[in-house]
């Protein structure tokens, strides 16, 4: 071993020598071989500083995610992750040992231990897991505008429509409720209300209405409604192990914008609900955002700013957030700057654009003795360049790492195991059946029925005493306009104050 190599090894051993509880990521490669004395770890207490798992397709990102999720569960930390390809259901089933796997782990100084993890299968849209729904009201105008692919002007108009529903106490449970409110504003009866909103033209409201109708024809209204999923249910712990919440997404693979936006709603809802926690020895929850680049594709400034603010502030709630994408350059610099833990699998450099991206990525790693250009382009499957934050918050030396393997099955679980997990779910009874309660649509229909002209009286042969009709209820504005205006303003302010960065509504349970 040369003096330079020995210096590199010593620096890695010292750099990843932590006293607190850690995730074991693997062993550093020295001269192309894993060195068991140079274990690469990630302190649990630094997970709320967020992280990134990146790399080209087929380089091992999914197995890295599975390994981290499993170790977090063992440490008593609940996990949320999205399963786009169905590969992560294997977390519910223990793996079988093999000579190849045993030998691989032995090189790292690790031993194979089969493990079955506590899992909840969730479903967004069609699926056999626990349904994850959001009320339109809680989803909020900024996220909904993202799904509808509205421009900034149309998004602002949608916010005013939500404001109208808020101020008139019209609950928006599903898309039919929102359609009813917009249809009312476009009607002759609602023309004055539309005018009072200011900035909402009938043509823009019509565009939004058409977009919602198209969503319904595509079957996307199944994601909205009651009962709304309570993200606090992600924080389950069973027999000391954190529950791994796996959201199945095969039915929305053709709607990437929708699923990525729904993931952001779940995160935003967590932020609104969880109390401040400060720095903990381990996080309350680690949230993995897969296909993270979709969040920022053609995003409006309001949407991007909301993501940046959520990422910046949710760490104080005890939540760790990992973005998963092919290239770090897919994310805005304001987000990248907050991701202190990096697991960068191999990059594929085929074009001048790829070469430029590689140079940018190299600049984000701590500079040391490792040849980052070689490591990032020559890393094999199951290898990655890792840097994390140490217990003092400083970045560790970049380590070309051979990643460890999980004790659960790599790939889908058997149908028998999945059926058993679904059958023992603690959440299914709470969310399985959809509920259609009286909300904006029913309330506006009732109002329209009350205002309809009464049928003409049937003539009688003899004059009858004139029955005095019950006095019609006068609006509070007629009774005391100044007082009612003040009360309305207070209600609007109170309701608006509990809307978060995305305009999402915090539930009152």
Give 387-398 pLDDT, tens digit per residue.
999 999 999 999
Question: How far separated are the first and last CA of the chain, in Å rounded?
Answer: 64
Q: Which long-range contacts (CB under 8 A, 24 or more apart) does 96-99 make?
A: 96/409
Cβ(134)–Cβ(265) below 8 Å: yes
Tell me what the mean pLDDT of segment 296-317 comes to: 86
**167: nearest Cα among 144, 197, 203, 206:** 197
| Residue whose pair of structure tokens reads 């202190």 in the numeric block | 340
Domain presence at residue 225: no
The closest of 352, 405, 471, 464 to 112, measured between CA atoms, is 405
- 492 contacts 484 by C-beta, under 8 angstroms: no
Q: Binning pLDDT at 50, 70 and 90, where does residue 455 land? A: low
Establish if 366 belongs to a structural domain. yes
Question: pLDDT digit string (tens) for 386-431?
Answer: 999 999 999 999 999 999 999 999 999 999 999 999 999 999 989 9
Check residue 439 and give its pLDDT: 92
Q: Long-range CB contacts (< 8 A, 24+ apart) of 209-212?
A: 209/179, 209/182, 209/183, 211/148, 211/149, 211/150, 212/148, 212/175, 212/178, 212/179, 212/182
Note whether 71 and 44 are within 8 A (CB). no
**365 falls within a domain:** yes
Is residue 316 a part of any domain in this protein? yes
Residue-level pLDDT at 84: 78
Structure confidence at residue 480 (pLDDT): 45
| pLDDT value at residue 179 | 95
Q: What is the chain's mean pLDDT, rounded?
A: 86
Which domain does 249 fall in, by range? 21-132+238-413
Domain CATH code at residue 32: 3.40.50.300
Rg of the chain (C-alpha set): 27
Within a domain: residue 42? yes
Distance CA 500, CA 19 (A): 38
Nearest to 46 by CA among 397, 395, 383, 405: 395
Per-residue buried b or exposed e for 199-235, using 16+ beta carbons within 10 Å of the residue's own CB: ebeeebbebbbebbeebbeeebbbbbbbbbbebebbb
Q: Are 220 and 258 in contact (CB under 8 A)?
A: yes
Q: What is the mean pLDDT of residues 283-301?
A: 86
List, in order, residues 6 or more apart from 47 with CB less than 8 Å away.
Answer: 23, 77, 282, 283, 286, 320, 341
Q: How many domains does the chain have?
A: 1
Of the listed ranges 62-76, 186-200, 299-313, 444-458, the least confidently predicted one is 444-458
| Cβ contact 94:114 at 8 Å | yes
Q: In angstroms, rounded to a whole number, what is the distance separating the alpha carbons of residues 178 and 508?
A: 20
Q: Decide if 57 is inside a domain.
A: yes
Q: What is the pTM of this model?
A: 0.86
Q: How many CA atoms lie within 13 A of 495 on its CB side?
A: 19
Q: Per DSSP, which regions of 206-252 are E strands?
A: 237-238, 241-242, 244-248
For 37, phi then psi, to 5°, come to -75, -15
Phi and psi dihedrals of 148, rounded to 5? -80, -5
∠153-154-156 over CA atoms, to 5°?
Answer: 65
211 domain residue, yes or no? no
DSSP letter at 199 equals: S
Which stretch of DSSP H or E encloses residue 165? Answer: helix 152-167
Residue 129's Cβ-side half-sphere holds a number of Cα atoms within 13 Å equal to: 22
Structural domain includes residue 14: no
pLDDT at 254 over 60: yes
Residue 464 has pLDDT above 50, yes or no: no
- Which one is predicted more confidently, 248 or 231? 231
Please tell me the predicted confidence (pLDDT) of residue 21: 96
SS3 label, residue 345: strand
What pLDDT does 491 receive? 41
């Amino acid at each position: 071993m040369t003096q330079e190599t020995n210096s590199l090894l010593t620096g890695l051993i010292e750099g990843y020598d932590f006293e607190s509880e850690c995730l074991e990521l693997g062993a550093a490669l020295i001269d192309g071989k894993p060195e068991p004395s140079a274990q690469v770890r990630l302190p649990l207490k630094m997970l709320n500083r967020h992280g990134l798992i990146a790399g080209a397709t087929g380089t091992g990102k999914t197995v890295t995610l599975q390994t981290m999720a499993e170790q977090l569960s063992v440490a008593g930390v609940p996990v949320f992750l999205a399963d786009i390809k169905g590969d992560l259901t294997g977390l519910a089933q223990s793996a079988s040992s093999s000579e190849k796997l045993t030998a691989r782990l032995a090189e790292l100084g690790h031993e194979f231990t089969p493990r079955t993890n506590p899992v909840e299968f969730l479903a967004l849209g069609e699926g056999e897991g626990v349904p994850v729904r959001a009320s339109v009201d809680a989803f909020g105008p900024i996220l909904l505008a993202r799904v509808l692919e509205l421009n900034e002007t149309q998004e602002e108009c949608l916010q005013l429509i939500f404001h109208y529903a808020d101020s008139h106490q019209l609950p928006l449970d599903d898309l039919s409720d929102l359609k009813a409110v917009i249809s009312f504003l476009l009607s002759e009866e609602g023309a004055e209300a539309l005018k009072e909103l200011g900035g909402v033209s009938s043509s823009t409201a019509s565009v939004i209405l058409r977009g919602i109708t198209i969503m319904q024809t595509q079957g996307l209204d199944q994601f909205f409604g009651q009962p709304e999923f309570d993200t606090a249910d992600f924080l389950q712990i069973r027999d000391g192990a954190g529950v791994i919440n796996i959201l199945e997404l095969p039915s929305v693979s053709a709607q990437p914008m929708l699923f990525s936006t729904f993931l952001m709603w779940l995160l935003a809802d967590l932020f609104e609900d969880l109390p401040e926690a400060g720095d903990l020895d381990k996080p309350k929850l680690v949230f993995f955002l897969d296909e993270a680049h979709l969040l920022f594709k053609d995003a409006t400034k309001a949407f991007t700013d909301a993501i940046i603010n959520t990422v910046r502030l949710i760490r104080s709630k005890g939540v760790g957030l990992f973005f998963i994408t092919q290239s770090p350059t897919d994310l805005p610099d304001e987000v990248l700057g907050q991701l202190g833990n990096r697991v960068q699998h191999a990059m594929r450099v085929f074009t001048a654009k790829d070469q430029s991206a590689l140079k940018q990525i190299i600049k984000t790693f701590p500079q040391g003795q490792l040849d980052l250009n070689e490591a990032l382009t020559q890393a094999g499957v199951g290898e990655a360049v890792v840097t994390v934050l140490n217990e003092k918050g400083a970045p560790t030396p970049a380590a070309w790492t051979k990643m460890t393997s999980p004790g659960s099955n790599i790939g889908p679980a058997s149908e028998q195991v999945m059926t058993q997990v679904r059958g023992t779910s603690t959440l299914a009874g709470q969310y399985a059946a959809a509920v259609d309660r009286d909300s904006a649509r029913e309330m506006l229909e009732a109002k329209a029925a009350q205002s309809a002209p009464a049928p003409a009286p049937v003539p009688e042969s003899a004059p009858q005493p004139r029955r005095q009709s019950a006095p019609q209820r006068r609006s509070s504005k007629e009774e005391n306009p100044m007082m009612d205006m003040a009360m309305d303003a207070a209600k609007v302010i109170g309701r608006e104050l509990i809307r978060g960065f995305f305009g999402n509504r915090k539930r009152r349970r």
